[in-house]
A = this chain, B = another copy of it.
Amino acid sequence: MTTLAEYLEACRLEIDAALESALPRPPACPAVVADAMRYSVTAGGKRLRPVLCLASAEAVGGTRADAMPAACALELIHTYSLIHDDLPAMDNDTMRRGRPTLHVVAGEGMAILAGDGLLTEAFALLAREAPAADPVLARRTLRVIGVVATAAGAIGMVGGQALDLACVTADPEGRLAPPLDADGLRVMHAKKTGALIRASAVAGAIMGGGTEQHIDAIEIAATDLGLAFQIIDDVLDVEGSSADLGKTAGKDAAAGKPTYPALYGVARSRQMAAEGLERARAALDTASLADSRLLQIGRWIVERGN
């Protein structure tokens, strides 16, 4: 059995290769937007969402190849969301994954378009990789498209970003929205980051041919892992340096955004993340999935340093 580090590295190599071949290229795609999309996709990152997707497929008895199109689609969607979130009209971030953000190097208009292109390509990729002749694969793919689009859309990730934006900007009447309380923070994060993380694990379970019991257990576990991920992200934003994070540190607190450490303190926040991990373990255990890479990845999420 390989170590988790070896497993993550093997997954990342496969994901990066699949992403590379999935990206549109000239001459069909104008170079100016192909280059912009590639700049952000190839900037690296943890590839957490696609790794979760592949690990879920394997946990339920499928292969990484079964879930690779979904894994790539999820990373394309995650990357588009970072590009748009970093725009001056949103978080106005100039560094991401250790490089200048896309709008800094390609302009705001092209950054918006590259994000739009990545989001759209995610669905083109999923549809393209499902051979029409295979009804089982067609059914799974359609279900995954529904799961992923719902998680990424206005009731999920886009809605979470809208809540985040609304809590730091004036509304049209010029009043400032009230700061989020603990419940509001939980809802915002459940949408903004939780929904896509959950969808990543669920999509893997579906593409890997998991039973409904598998899929349900993984959905519950991934909900807790998504929350734990966000809590640790907030903690690292407080504790970390920009060099470690590859993005601007302390940004959320400086922007007056609510964070877990601000509401609960660092020690209690870390404890909440550990409790989430334990709930995830229990959920996986109900479907005999606790002895899988999924739980190891959960532990990595909670214990990571960046």
The chain B residue with its CB closest to the CB of A23 is B154
- A87 at interface, CB cutoff 8 A: yes
CA distance A113 to B85 in the complex (A): 9
**Residues on B with beta carbons closer than 8 Å to the beta carbon of A159:** 24, 29-30, 33, 117
The complex is assembled from copies of this chain, and their number is 2
- A152 at interface, CB cutoff 8 A: yes
The chain B residue with its CB closest to the CB of A159 is B30
* Contact A84–B110 (Cβ < 8 Å): no
Contacts known (A112-B84, A142-B142); A121 close to B154, Cβ less than 8 A: yes
In the complex, which residues 131-185 of chain A have their Cβ closer than 8 Å to any Cβ of chain B? 132, 135, 138-139, 141-143, 145-146, 149-150, 152-155, 158-159, 161-163, 165-166, 169, 171-172
- A124 at interface, CB cutoff 8 A: yes
Interface size bucket, A side?
Answer: 35 or more
* Contact A143–B132 (Cβ < 8 Å): yes
**Residues on B with beta carbons closer than 8 Å to the beta carbon of A166:** 30, 32, 110
6 sample A-B contacts, Cβ–Cβ < 8 Å, listed by A number: A24-B153, A28-B155, A30-B162, A90-B109, A132-B142, A135-B135
- Additional A-B contacts beyond A32-B163, A36-B162 (4; CB < 8 A): A84-B113, A120-B149, A127-B142, A138-B138
Interface residues, chain A, with chain B CB atoms under 8 Å away: 24, 28-30, 32-34, 36-37, 80, 84, 87, 89-90, 105-110, 112-113, 115-117, 119-121, 123-124, 126-128, 130, 132, 135, 138-139, 141-143, 145-146, 149-150, 152-155, 158-159, 161-163, 165-166, 169, 171-172, 191
